[in-house]
Structure 1
């Protein structure tokens, strides 16, 4: 099992995201890289950079960081690393992923909904990669997942039996059922999916994705989290 990248805006949901990551550290050692993205300032003086790095957090954000460090301290198998990133590019992100040996990305809702350009760009870059991405809802009741529903892409050719392997060894889930969704706004189509979730106690949704070119002007499609309120594990088909 490789290490975990946790993207954060240091909101309250970072704590639940970290709790989910820490649940993976009980069986074997791993490092959780909590990455904070900052806008690159125009001033390039060394003095400005030092001031920026020292006074970059609000008291609330400092409190979230302190709670994260305290939570990690109770897990002897886990090492928490705070990574502040002031610039980002495709090659740089790939280098960070390789250096930290990242095998899973966890994204809390506040980061998913962030309107900051550096956060949106980072998500686009990560979705082009092969690493599984766990997208969390605003409210998370469980940090462990056992029963999954596979929401099959209409063009997908991934066998259901291969999905746990594509998740990289993270989570011990069973795929209870699968469904194809063509229109999230079609109530008639969605009703059987809701019924399956409630009837079987589904606590994780799985989707597949195919790497696409980055288009900054492209509007985001409705997220599965918004419709179902469940964690969504996105795995890349090209890694299959």
Structure 2
């Protein structure tokens, strides 16, 4: 059984994230944890703390949650759980991953676009955890991924064979092409990337990452999802 963690504000693409988790479980069963994070109430009163924690869901959020539960109810050997987290830090995040035995974290496009500081903090904390992260794209949901393009990190020390070995042990897709990192020269790389994606029928990008210092930026920078419109599997280098 594989366990998946999906940070969410219950936007529509949470449904796609749940379907992706089920697909990655490969009929072996799974538990999906929908994590809803809020700031810890700023009060010393117990009654005040409990009062501020009682935040109901909107009608649209209820609909998304009901849909996710319906999908799980009709999927054998799968369970779903809603985890409400008030306040977050790196040790707490790591503890959540350990307690739920999370094998893959899934981040939706809408979650990464959230403007509240707590949600931006979740995304950055997630990147510093050793758990693999699947960044979903804006494209329509795809049942499964088969062929991947490996984006080699110039500052990393992971060989493509090591990455493929990790993928073979944990996922069902393979690397069919690779390229050097193009973050500072995307315009020149773009035609070659488009050609490779079309030629090899690539439906997933694979990258490695290292831990970084938490920084809050007023302007969001484009990531691989935005540039190429494909899902991205991000592997922490020590994992791969």
Q: Using the TM superposition, name which of 153-162 and 55-64 deviates more.
A: 153-162
Q: Deviations over 1:205-230 (max 9, x none)?
A: 00111112223359654210001111
Once the two structures are TM-superposed, the CA of residue 110 in structure 1 deviates from its matched residue by 0.7
Distance 1:37 1:10 in 2: 11
Once the two structures are TM-superposed, the CA of residue 45 in structure 1 deviates from its matched residue by 4.0
Distance 1:119 1:166 in 2: 29
1:238 match: secondary structure: coil
Per the alignment, residue 148 of structure 1 pairs with 148
Residue 105, structure 1, aligned to residue 110, structure 2: no
Distance 2:33 2:168 in 1: 17
Matched ranges for 1:1-240 at <5 A: 2-167=2-167, 169-183=169-183, 186-216=186-216, 221-240=221-240
1:177 match: secondary structure: strand
Task: Say whether the 8 Å CA contact 1:184–1:190 is kept in structure 2.
Answer: no
Q: Deviations over 1:45-80 (max 9, x none)?
A: 444454555442111111111111111111121111
Task: Say whether the 8 Å CA contact 1:3–1:32 is kept in structure 2.
Answer: yes
Task: Say whether the 8 Å CA contact 1:134–1:234 is kept in structure 2.
Answer: yes
**TM-score, length of structure 2 as denominator length:** 0.91
Distance 1:165 1:29 in 2: 23
Task: Say whether the 8 Å CA contact 2:167–2:174 is kept in structure 1.
Answer: no
Distance 2:71 2:231 in 1: 21
Task: Say whether the 8 Å CA contact 1:90–1:125 is kept in structure 2.
Answer: yes
Q: Cα RMSD over matched residues?
A: 2.2
Return 5+ residue gaps in structure 1 as ranges. Answer: none
**Distance 1:38-1:169 versus aligned 2 partners, 3 A rule:** farther
Distance 2:148 2:37 in 1: 31
Task: Say whether the 8 Å CA contact 1:166–1:235 is kept in structure 2.
Answer: no
Return 5+ residue gaps in structure 2 as ranges. Answer: none
Distance 2:225 2:217 in 1: 22
